Amino acid sequence: MRVVVTDPNLLPLRGELEVLLPHDELIWLPDDLLDALKTAEVLVGPAFTQEMADAAPGLRLVQVAGAGTDRVQATGVPVANTYHHEDSIAEYVVWALIALRRELPQADAALRQNRWRSPVYDPALPQPQTLSSAKVGFLGFGHIGQATWRVLQPFGAQAQAVTASGKADGLSWAGDTSQLPRLLEESNVLVVSAPLTEATRGIIGAAELSKLGADGVLVNVARGPLVQEHALYDALRNHTIRGAALDVWYSYPSGGDRAQPAEAPFGELDNVLLTPHLSGITRQTFRGRIQDIAANITALAEGNELRNLVRL
């Protein structure tokens, strides 16, 4: 089986993937991708354009090495994805909620200037609350939402969710997107973990953030455009909400590691945690993913059923 790998995130585990696929020919990050695709049977990578499809007449599978398939634009070839990032992202969400609700980044910045920003030394500051008082609203309750809830439960938090189906097990309640206003009014935390579709693009705007309220915090680990950029910036700047953790963005580097992630100057605010889409990037995530990738390539070679096929 001739496999073209275009995802550089798999390079640290190249040796492990090649051990799992000892009889396959793996072409890693080819300089001339279209030429490499001429005889490829499997493409492992995040993007698949019509130009790539036209160059690959023998392609039998597009295997995305992650959950998101929004960069797969061409059809006609089976597409599969893989997950295994949910536990890593759940850790990130818990870290972000503790930091935001207790205003730890502000305390860190203040102490660097010799100011002890604590209710002990500044009675005007309120005493922060633990996660036991968190009322977590999940926008989307798939792999990420469920893993996050498993981690949050021992802290004594409460949770509810809005999902496309209106269903979610083990929560105080769940509803469809018509229940989004209720979700926001009854939550002081919003975890955005829904897929980006035409129905969810911009689903959180100024009105929704206002309902979340001045004590509310937002954590976006899904895709940036689910939350309207300038509405979010205004809500943070004006303290309409307490804070936000943003791991997903509105623009990304096209090469290298330099790019402005948004038009709005989020970096000027002290109530937002900014991270470069790293919440799921751990060795454990990608070790699980290469297991799925190898299993699907082996299944394809042996004529067996493929895992995690995606309906685009």
- Tens of pLDDT, residue by residue over 21-69, are 999 999 999 999 999 999 999 999 999 999 999 999 999 999 999 988 8
Domain(s) labelled CATH 3.40.50.720 in the chain stretch across 2-84+283-302, 86-274
CATH 3.40.50.1240 given to domain 86-274:
no
Greater pLDDT, 254 or 15: 15
| Sign of CA pseudo-dihedral 300, 301, 303, 304 | negative
Instruction: For residue 126, give every residue at least 6 positions away whose Cβ sits within 8 Å of its Cβ, in sequence order, or none.
Output: 119
Query: What is the per-residue pLDDT across 121-165, written as a single tens digit (0 to 9) for each?
Result: 999 999 999 999 999 999 999 999 999 999 999 999 999 999 999
Contact residues for 189 (Cβ-Cβ < 8 A; gap 6+): 97, 101, 134, 135, 136, 137, 157, 216, 217, 218, 219
Helix axes 104-111, 86-101, angle to 10 degrees: 60
Point out which residues pair with 161 in neighbouring strands. Answer: 138, 174
Task: With a cut of 80, say whether residue 312 has pLDDT above it.
Answer: no
User: What is the pLDDT at residue 125?
Assistant: 96
**b/e burial code for range 245-264 (CB count within 10 A of at least 16 → b):** bbbbbbeeeeeeeeeebbeb
Q: Name the nearest CA neighbour of 278 among 39, 147, 92.
A: 92
Chosen CATH of 2-84+283-302 out of 3.40.50.720, 3.90.79.10, 1.20.58.100, 3.40.50.620: 3.40.50.720
Mean pLDDT of 194-204: 95
Per residue in 81-136, pLDDT tens? Answer: 999 999 999 999 999 999 999 999 999 999 999 999 999 999 999 999 999 999 99
Q: Which two tokens mark 167?
A: 């269903």
Region 302-306: mean pLDDT is 97
The confidence score (pLDDT) of residue 75 equals 86
pLDDT at 70 over 90: no
Residues 30-66 as b/e (b if ≥16 CB within 10 A, e otherwise) read eeebeebbeebbbbbbbbbeeebbebbeebbbbbbbb
pTM score, two decimals?
Answer: 0.91
